[in-house]
Amino acid sequence: MSTLKTSVLGIDFENPFLLSSAPPTAKIESIDKAFTLGWGGAVLKTITPDGLEMIEASQRYATWKNAGRVCGFENIELLSHLTIKQWLDGIKYLKQKHPTKVQIASIMAPVVKEEWQNLVKTFNDSEVDAFELNFSCPHGMPEKGIGMAIGTNAEISSTITEWVMEVAKKPVFVKLSPNVTNIAQIAKAVEAAGADGIAAINTVQSLMGVDLDTFEPMPKVNGKSTFGGYSGMSVKPIGLRCVAQIRQNSDLPILGMGGISNWRDAAEYMSVGADVVQVCTEVMINGYAVIGAMKQGLLNYLENKGFNSPADIKNKAIANLSAHKDLNKSKQVYPHIDDALCIKCGKCATICDESEHSALSLVDGRIQVNRDACVGCSLCSHVCPKAAITMK
Ligand SMILES: Cc1cc2nc3c(=O)[nH]c(=O)nc-3n(C[C@H](O)[C@H](O)[C@H](O)COP(=O)(O)O)c2cc1C
């Protein structure tokens, strides 16, 4: 019998699915509801010292849609609006009601030693299980020299990590930004400064679009806009890459996230190094109840594959990532067309024509492959609307 239970740095997780620090963890009642529905833990919406100015804009979101489905948001939301006292009371209440659920305090403070250390000391004696240092919010905060302004600078990241490690009595994860040239370099810097683990990724800095009548970028805030943070299923390839790059360079535990919308995404994150995963945008769009299918899907997968627990998948794909020069280029695959499925729409031939090779054509009512022209790139198989093309 497989289990979803796992343990990271001595913290027991009843399942590896956590809510990430974001609107779904901004209110105690919401976290309460999420725990009741089965989430393994929650990273609280980022807590700052009381009094740090937090004035929100309206609108705060712009979306990227495909065929009416939201594939990602850009948001320009800031941090928690609860006071420290409200959080301390809420954390205590949640621990009493849900003793097996993991609570992680996400924190952020101005780049002043006392501010960071005071915040950590305040939560040291609370019921939180760990800290997550938010070095990665890409909007609003960098203008104040915090958020992503910290996480894009290895030196400042390492200095603050050292300050925190001097006083923290619970494990400390540092949440990194994908908006850097080399995320592994920042991970190594905070590891050297004593961090216990890494969380990645925060949102991807973005500009969702421009209204071509008024030339207002989106989201529109009384005529203007600002760069925001992109999240949701369309950022998964970026998050997966970042987590894999961190894992290639560090053995620290990783809380992986970015675009996870189902159990498969979660398992993929684990296979490139995540110990447990976090989810935000999928929950905002489809509700806390998505946890049911995520847990069942992952458990079925573990059982079908003969894995005991999520820990068995961890890092499984890392050895199969190599430099381009080390890929085996001696063999080529070719498209095989299933005539029974093919609707002769010609999309495969068009993309092959316009992408250099012209290896596919409709002859006598069938798609034919010219093997001399085909380079085995696989583009045709990706655009086929009927999945009629397999690369063999
Ligand atoms: C509206 C919104 C607010 C967020 N606020 C925070 C925050 O306060 N602190 C933080 O560390 N991350 C914050 N995030 C980032 C998420 O925790 C997460 O890292 C990111 O959205 C990627 O995960 P996802 O694709 O599952 O949403 C926020 C994301 C969204 C969409």
151 touches ligand 1 (CB under 6 Å): no
For residue 279, the ligand 1 atom closest to its alpha carbon is 26
Mode of pairing for the β-strands spanning 69-75 and 102-107 = unpaired
Helix or strand holding residue 19 (H, E): strand 17-19
Atom of ligand 1 at shortest distance to CA of 60?
1
Mean pLDDT, 10 residues at a time, the chain of 392 residues: 97 98 98 98 97 91 93 94 97 98 97 98 98 94 89 97 98 98 98 98 97 97 96 98 98 98 98 98 98 98 98 98 96 96 95 94 93 96 96 95
pLDDT at 54: 85
In sequence order, which ranges of 98-137 are alpha helices (DSSP H)? Answer: 113-124
Question: Hey, what are 154's tokens?
Answer: 């290895």
Give the position, in ligand 1's atom list, of the atom nearest the Cα of 106. 11
d(CA 56, CA 178): 23
Other beta carbons within 10 angstroms of residue 364's beta carbon come to 5
Whole-number pLDDT of residue 65: 93
**Residue identifier of the C-alpha nearest atom 5 of ligand 1:** 22
Mutation to probe ligand 1, out of 58, 104, 203, 276 (largest number of atoms < 8 A from CB) = 203
What's the pTM value of the predicted model, to 2 decimals?
A: 0.97
Q: How far is CA 110 from CA 83, 114, 115, 146, 159, in A?
A: 16, 9, 7, 6, 13
**pLDDT at residue 250, as a whole number:** 98
Phi, psi of 341 (to 5 degrees): -90, -30
Residue nearest to atom 18 of ligand 1 (CA): 202
Dist. CA 22–CA 78, nearest whole Å: 9
pLDDT at res. 116: 98
What pLDDT does 145 receive? 86
Query: What secondary structure does DSSP assign to 133-155, as a single string?
Result: EE----SSSGGGT-THHHHT-HH
Expressed in angstroms and rounded, the spacing between residue 348 Cα and the centre of ligand 1 is 37
- Site of tokens 């910290």: 150
pLDDT of residue 315: 98
Ligand 1 centroid–CA 300 distance in Å is 28
Ligand 1 mutation pick, 108, 202, 265, max ligand atoms within 8 A of CB? 202
Q: Is the CB of 73 under 6 A from ligand 1?
A: yes
Residues with catalytic roles: 137
Nearest residue (by CA) to ligand 1, atom 3, is 22
Give pLDDT, residue 61. Answer: 96
| 282 Cα to the center of ligand 1, angstroms | 11
For 325, counting Cβ atoms within 10 Å of its Cβ (0-12 exposed, 13-18 middle, 19+ buried), the class is exposed
Please report the domains of the chain, with CATH numbers, ordered by start residue: 6-320 (3.20.20.70), 332-391 (3.30.70.20)
